[in-house]
Chains A and B, each alone.
Chain A
Amino acid sequence: DAGITQSPRHKVTETGTPVTLRCHQTENHRYMYWYRQDPGHGLRLIHYSYGVKDTDKGEVSDGYSVSRSKTEDFLLTLESATSSQTSVYFCAISRDPAYEQYFGPGTRLTVT
């Protein structure tokens, strides 16, 4: 696997609590992405970053925010978790938007 780690790998939280997921890369790639994977939906883009402090929304950004203060770290925050945000979250990186993306191992989030 490319040098991408995600933490935590598993989390159970209650509705209404804030949650932050971390993606860390050692590849020095400029672009970073957060996806969620749900049965029947494939992967859907939540937010992405094209540089430090440069982020933009994806297809399913409502209820999520991101931050990127360093090249290697991309944080995804659920300000107030809801049951509909129960999902598997993947981080990905790429050198360039035209290049392939490399994925982290995923975080399984359950909101009860």
Chain B
Amino acid sequence: AQSVAQPEDQVNVAEGNPLTVKCTYSVSGNPYLFWYVQYPNRGLQFLLKYITGDNLVKGSYGFEAEFNKSQTSFHLKKPSALVSDSALYFCAVRGTSGYSTLTFGKGTMLLVSP
């Protein structure tokens, strides 16, 4: 069975500082990895994905994520946080075979203070 772990329920960072939201995964074979963001009372918005290729993936709003196969990790990063980045972030994984579906982590709340 596939799974995702987001070890931090909440991450606090000051505006202008770099941010990292951690994600590790477990899946059979090669993974497809995704990050989503959820603002209050909204649906999830797609940020970025890793399918294959370059381990550093760039996405929306200045976010990027680094795929590390040996550590089975896909951490979300941004060089300089904004107060408007405060939201709930979800990592998700699926395998590459058949009708494998997405498995989401429990989410990490990012709070960026002015």
Contact = CB atoms under 8 A, between A and B. Distances in A.
B31 to A, nearest CB: 11
A74 interface: no
A94 to B, nearest CB: 9
* SS class, residues of chain A in contact with chain B: strand
Nearest to A50: B99
B44 interface: yes
Interface residues of A, number: 25
Contacts, number: 50
Interface stretch (A13-21, A79-87, A103-111): A103-111
Given A42-B90, A43-B90, A56-B99, A100 B105 contact: no
Given A48-B101, A58-B101, A97-B99, A43 B43 contact: no
A97 B90 contact: no
B87 interface: no
Given A42-B90, A103-B43, A98 B101 contact: no
A33 B94 CA distance: 14
14 contacts: A1-B43, A33-B102, A42-B90, A48-B101, A58-B101, A92-B44, A97-B94, A98-B51, A100-B34, A100-B49, A101-B102, A103-B44, A105-B43, A106-B41
